[in-house]
């Protein structure tokens, strides 16, 4: 027996310990063999042999468990040592991409309104006449449709000319109050240094109980928003016309290039037009079946904001995918 105690104590791996265990405790192991001898032993010795063997059995069981724990710990430690990774090593440099200035500007705009509890809504780019025009108080043959040169498909389908149809869709499937913005791509037949056939808008809509929404609320939030976007600038509201709002206004900021002195970018006026807005026309609420509500709406072109923030002269350059331009926005 002694040699088996020694073997257990000297086992050098969990694996060899296991084969020792089998040799001792297995069906054909030494303990089984010793117990078998009892059959031929004299009756008066049987009890003593059994008692001795059971003592050995107990001792070896605990010795095996103890040795197994020790070996497992040692093996784990050796493995950790062998598989260690030096995280302080330098790796090869990877090229860093950049967020496109239009998307970056859009994110900033969305962040502002999200912080004011406006939800972000989206809708299809291929729209129908009802959502893009009719429901927005722009009946067929209304001259104001010319304000937005439209790409038409067959069957009164079209590429949305603004994200206002998202507001119609949202009102059709939710009850007031509403506080939402609709960021997304829009399409118009236009192409020159300040127009591209596809561009991005963020439009906003707030609807609450009749009499709860005023032009002053609209003015406050837009002024706060424009200062957030452009820093220390002046803001002015000019009366204007949109079919879906009444009264309507266009919003100007003091020129970010000449600080209002008058330059080429602001056509010597000192002001830059950046937003359209107004109090939602009752006809729009009628079209979506809203009663006893009031609301305001606004819309802006993201590219225009990006151009003013990053001082980009030609809108088209934003869509040419020239890495020399994009690299400047890392």
Query: Can residue 252 be called a binding residue for ligand PHE (CB under 6 A)?
Result: no
Record the tokens describing residue 72, joined without a space: 């497992």
Query: Can residue 164 be called a binding residue for ligand PHE (CB under 6 A)?
Result: yes
Query: Can residue 242 be called a binding residue for ligand PHE (CB under 6 A)?
Result: yes
Distance between CA 161 and CA 164 in Å, rounded?
A: 9
- How many H-runs (helices) and E-runs (strands) does the chain carry? 11, 9
Nearer to ligand PHE, 184 or 299 (CB): 299
- State the nearest-atom distance from the C-beta of 260 to ligand PHE, in Å: 24
Distance between CA 319 and CA 301 in Å, rounded?
A: 15
Place of tokens 């606004």: 298
Which of 169, 276, 287, 304 contacts ligand PHE by CB under 6 A? 276
User: Could you tell me which stretch among 9-17, 59-67, 126-134, 271-279 binds ligand PHE (CB under 6 A)?
Assistant: 271-279
Q: Are the C-beta atoms of residues 306 and 329 closer than 8 Å to each other?
A: no
Nearer to ligand PHE, 101 or 278 (CB): 278
Query: Can residue 221 be called a binding residue for ligand PHE (CB under 6 A)?
Result: no
Record the tokens describing residue 264, joined without a space: 């080429």
Query: Can residue 245 be called a binding residue for ligand PHE (CB under 6 A)?
Result: yes
Q: Are the C-beta atoms of residues 254 and 240 closer than 8 Å to each other?
A: no
Distance between CA 233 and CA 210 in Å, rounded?
A: 33
Which of 160, 162, 200, 304 contacts ligand PHE by CB under 6 A? 162
Structure-derived torsion over alpha carbons of residues 18, 23, 26, 31, reported in degrees to the nearest 10: -130
> x-or-dash pattern for ligand PHE, window 277-306, by CB under 6 A?
xx------------------xxx-------
Q: Are the C-beta atoms of residues 154 and 128 closer than 8 Å to each other?
A: no
Nearer to ligand PHE, 64 or 132 (CB): 132
Q: Which residues bind ligand PHE (CB under 6 A)?
A: 162, 164, 203, 242, 245, 276-278, 297-299
């Amino acid at each position: 027996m002694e040699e088996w105690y020694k073997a257990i104590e000297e086992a050098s791996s969990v694996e060899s310990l296991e084969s020792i265990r089998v040799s001792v405790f297995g069906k054909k192991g030494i303990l089984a063999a010793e117990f078998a001898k009892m059959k031929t032993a004299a009756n008066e010795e049987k009890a003593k042999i059994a008692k001795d063997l059971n003592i050995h059995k107990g001792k070896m069981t605990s010795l095996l468990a103890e040795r197994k724990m020790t070996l497992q710990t040692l093996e784990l430690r050796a493995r950790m040592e062998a598989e260690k990774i030096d995280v302080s090593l330098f790796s090869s440099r990877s090229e860093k991409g950049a967020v496109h200035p239009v998307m970056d500007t859009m994110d900033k705009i969305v962040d502002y309104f999200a912080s004011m509890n406006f939800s972000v809504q989206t809708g299809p780019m291929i729209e129908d006449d009802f959502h893009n025009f009719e429901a927005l108080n722009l009946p067929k043959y209304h001259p104001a449709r010319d304000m937005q040169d439209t790409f038409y498909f067959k069957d009164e389908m079209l590429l949305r000319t603004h994200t206002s149809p998202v507001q119609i869709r949202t009102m059709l499937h939710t009850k007031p109050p509403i506080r939402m913005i609709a960021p997304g791509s829009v399409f118009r037949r236009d192409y020159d240094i300040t127009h591209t056939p596809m561009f991005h808008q963020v439009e906003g809509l707030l609807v609450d109980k009749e009499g709860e929404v005023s032009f002053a609320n609209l003015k406050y939030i837009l002024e706060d928003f424009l200062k957030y976007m452009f820093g220390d600038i002046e803001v002015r509201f000019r009366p204007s016309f949109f079919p879906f709002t009444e009264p309507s206004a266009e919003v100007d900021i003091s020129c970010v290039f000449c600080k209002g002195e008058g330059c080429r970018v602001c056509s010597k006026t000192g002001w830059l037009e950046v937003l359209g807005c107004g109090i939602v026309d009752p006809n729009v609420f009628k079209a979506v079946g809203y009663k006893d509500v009031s609301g305001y709406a606004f819309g802006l072109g993201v590219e225009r904001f990006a151009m003013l923030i990053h001082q980009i002269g030609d809108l088209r350059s934003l869509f040419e995918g020239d890495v020399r331009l994009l690299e400047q926005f890392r």
